[in-house]
Amino acid sequence: MATSIKNRNIVRIDINAEARNSQTHGWQVRLSRKGISTSKFFSDGKCGGKRKALALAREFRDEAVATMPKLTRFEIAQRKTSRNTSGVVGVHYSEANFRKRDKVYPTKSWVATWSLSPGVARSRRFSVDKLGEEKAFKAAVEFRAQMLKKLEEQQ
Protein backbone atom coordinates (compact mmCIF):
# COMPACT_ATOMS: atom_id res chain seq x y z
CA MET A 1 0.00 0.00 0.00
CA ALA A 2 1.44 3.35 -1.03
CA THR A 3 1.90 6.04 1.59
CA SER A 4 0.38 9.40 0.75
CA ILE A 5 2.68 12.41 0.76
CA LYS A 6 0.65 13.74 3.70
CA ASN A 7 1.71 10.70 5.74
CA ARG A 8 5.23 10.19 4.41
CA ASN A 9 7.54 8.72 7.09
CA ILE A 10 4.51 7.93 9.30
CA VAL A 11 3.25 4.37 9.84
CA ARG A 12 0.21 3.04 11.69
CA ILE A 13 0.87 0.46 14.40
CA ASP A 14 -1.95 -1.70 15.77
CA ILE A 15 -0.87 -4.62 17.95
CA ASN A 16 -3.26 -6.76 19.97
CA ALA A 17 -1.12 -9.03 22.16
CA GLU A 18 -3.71 -11.26 23.83
CA ALA A 19 -1.07 -13.42 25.54
CA ARG A 20 0.23 -10.43 27.51
CA ASN A 21 -3.12 -8.68 27.78
CA SER A 22 -1.71 -5.55 26.17
CA GLN A 23 -2.47 -3.43 23.14
CA THR A 24 -0.51 -0.88 21.16
CA HIS A 25 -2.32 1.53 18.87
CA GLY A 26 -0.84 4.68 17.41
CA TRP A 27 1.32 6.34 14.77
CA GLN A 28 5.10 6.10 14.49
CA VAL A 29 7.32 8.66 12.78
CA ARG A 30 10.65 7.40 11.42
CA LEU A 31 13.16 9.63 9.60
CA SER A 32 16.74 9.27 8.52
CA ARG A 33 18.81 11.91 6.72
CA LYS A 34 22.57 11.80 6.17
CA GLY A 35 23.13 9.33 9.00
CA ILE A 36 20.90 11.19 11.47
CA SER A 37 17.85 9.15 12.55
CA THR A 38 14.85 9.99 14.66
CA SER A 39 11.80 8.00 15.69
CA LYS A 40 8.81 8.79 17.89
CA PHE A 41 5.57 6.95 18.70
CA PHE A 42 2.26 8.77 19.18
CA SER A 43 -0.19 6.62 21.17
CA ASP A 44 -3.91 6.99 20.42
CA GLY A 45 -4.69 6.75 24.15
CA LYS A 46 -2.16 9.33 25.32
CA CYS A 47 -2.85 11.78 22.48
CA GLY A 48 -6.65 11.76 22.81
CA GLY A 49 -7.60 9.55 19.87
CA LYS A 50 -6.49 8.33 16.47
CA ARG A 51 -6.92 11.64 14.61
CA LYS A 52 -5.19 13.74 17.25
CA ALA A 53 -2.29 11.28 17.40
CA LEU A 54 -1.90 11.48 13.61
CA ALA A 55 -2.00 15.28 13.69
CA LEU A 56 0.74 15.33 16.37
CA ALA A 57 2.80 12.81 14.40
CA ARG A 58 2.58 14.98 11.27
CA GLU A 59 3.56 18.05 13.25
CA PHE A 60 6.57 16.26 14.76
CA ARG A 61 7.59 14.92 11.33
CA ASP A 62 7.38 18.38 9.73
CA GLU A 63 9.52 19.94 12.47
CA ALA A 64 12.08 17.11 12.29
CA VAL A 65 12.35 17.32 8.49
CA ALA A 66 12.90 21.08 8.70
CA THR A 67 15.88 20.60 11.03
CA MET A 68 17.49 17.61 9.29
CA PRO A 69 19.92 18.08 6.36
CA LYS A 70 18.38 17.19 3.00
CA LEU A 71 20.13 14.96 0.46
CA THR A 72 20.73 16.40 -2.98
CA ARG A 73 19.65 14.44 -6.06
CA PHE A 74 23.34 13.82 -6.78
CA GLU A 75 23.87 12.35 -3.28
CA ILE A 76 20.79 10.16 -3.62
CA ALA A 77 22.05 8.86 -6.97
CA GLN A 78 25.28 7.67 -5.29
CA ARG A 79 23.75 5.89 -2.28
CA LYS A 80 24.63 2.21 -2.16
CA THR A 81 21.93 0.00 -0.67
CA SER A 82 22.14 -3.49 0.78
CA ARG A 83 20.36 -4.82 -2.35
CA ASN A 84 23.26 -3.80 -4.59
CA THR A 85 24.90 -6.93 -6.02
CA SER A 86 27.12 -5.43 -8.74
CA GLY A 87 29.19 -3.28 -6.39
CA VAL A 88 28.41 -0.19 -8.48
CA VAL A 89 25.42 2.03 -7.70
CA GLY A 90 23.07 2.30 -10.68
CA VAL A 91 24.45 -0.75 -12.52
CA HIS A 92 22.81 -4.18 -12.43
CA TYR A 93 22.88 -7.48 -14.32
CA SER A 94 19.77 -8.51 -16.24
CA GLU A 95 18.59 -11.67 -17.95
CA ALA A 96 15.42 -11.04 -19.92
CA ASN A 97 13.40 -12.54 -22.74
CA PHE A 98 12.47 -10.31 -25.65
CA ARG A 99 9.81 -11.20 -28.16
CA LYS A 100 10.18 -10.37 -31.81
CA ARG A 101 7.27 -11.50 -33.91
CA ASP A 102 6.57 -15.06 -32.72
CA LYS A 103 10.03 -15.84 -31.37
CA VAL A 104 11.47 -15.37 -27.88
CA TYR A 105 15.10 -14.28 -27.56
CA PRO A 106 16.88 -14.62 -24.22
CA THR A 107 19.33 -11.79 -23.57
CA LYS A 108 21.95 -11.11 -20.92
CA SER A 109 23.11 -7.59 -20.26
CA TRP A 110 24.53 -5.12 -17.79
CA VAL A 111 22.17 -2.19 -17.31
CA ALA A 112 23.07 1.38 -16.34
CA THR A 113 20.22 3.37 -14.75
CA TRP A 114 20.00 7.09 -14.02
CA SER A 115 17.59 9.97 -13.58
CA LEU A 116 18.44 13.50 -14.70
CA SER A 117 15.06 14.92 -13.68
CA PRO A 118 12.66 13.99 -10.86
CA GLY A 119 10.30 11.16 -11.72
CA VAL A 120 12.02 10.25 -15.00
CA ALA A 121 14.08 7.07 -14.74
CA ARG A 122 16.19 6.04 -17.71
CA SER A 123 18.29 2.97 -18.48
CA ARG A 124 20.66 1.66 -21.12
CA ARG A 125 21.56 -1.98 -21.71
CA PHE A 126 24.99 -3.30 -22.65
CA SER A 127 24.78 -6.75 -24.21
CA VAL A 128 26.93 -9.52 -22.77
CA ASP A 129 26.44 -11.50 -26.00
CA LYS A 130 27.85 -8.66 -28.14
CA LEU A 131 30.53 -7.21 -25.82
CA GLY A 132 31.38 -10.06 -23.48
CA GLU A 133 30.81 -10.07 -19.71
CA GLU A 134 33.70 -7.82 -18.69
CA LYS A 135 33.38 -5.22 -21.48
CA ALA A 136 29.60 -4.97 -21.03
CA PHE A 137 30.04 -4.35 -17.29
CA LYS A 138 32.78 -1.75 -17.86
CA ALA A 139 30.70 -0.02 -20.53
CA ALA A 140 27.69 0.17 -18.16
CA VAL A 141 29.87 1.55 -15.34
CA GLU A 142 31.45 4.17 -17.63
CA PHE A 143 28.10 5.22 -19.06
CA ARG A 144 26.60 5.52 -15.56
CA ALA A 145 29.58 7.73 -14.55
CA GLN A 146 28.89 10.01 -17.55
CA MET A 147 25.25 10.35 -16.53
CA LEU A 148 26.25 11.12 -12.90
CA LYS A 149 28.56 13.83 -14.21
CA LYS A 150 25.63 15.38 -16.10
CA LEU A 151 23.51 15.24 -12.95
CA GLU A 152 26.28 16.90 -10.90
CA GLU A 153 26.55 19.68 -13.50
CA GLN A 154 22.81 20.34 -13.12
CA GLN A 155 23.09 20.86 -9.34
DSSP 86-155: SSSTTEEEEEEEEEETTEEEEEEEEEEEEEEETTEEEEEEEEHHHH-HHHHHHHHHHHHHHHHHHHHHH-
- Is the pTM for the entire model greater than 0.75? no
pLDDT in tens, 12-25: 999 887 756 678 89
pLDDT reading at 57 higher than 70? yes
Domain boundaries, the chain: 5-70, 74-154
